[in-house]
Amino acid sequence: MMGGARARAVTDEQIRAEIRRDYPGWNPWQSDAGRWWARTGRTVDGDTPDELRAVLAEQENPGADG
């Protein structure tokens, strides 16, 4: 046992559910190579869930960063 401390493991399914919740209409998945993708009429990708989220945010708010 690890005493009172235990690591919180977030599953890929939980990550996908969070992305679907935060970006309705997008269908996220992780490829066999480990990249993260999402599709809704077009397909976008990122190396990590955070990178995918950044791409999705840009898709929903084009030009917001500059």
Burial class (CB in 10 A: 0-12, 13-18, 19+), 45: middle
Average pLDDT for 39-51: 96
Half-sphere exposure of 19 (CA within 13 A, CB side): 28
- pTM equals 0.78
Average pLDDT for 16-24: 97
Q: Is the pLDDT of residue 7 over 90?
A: no
% the chain with pLDDT above 90? 71
Nearest to 46 by CA among 64, 29, 21: 29
Q: Is the pLDDT of residue 5 over 70?
A: no
**What pLDDT sits at residue 8?**
54
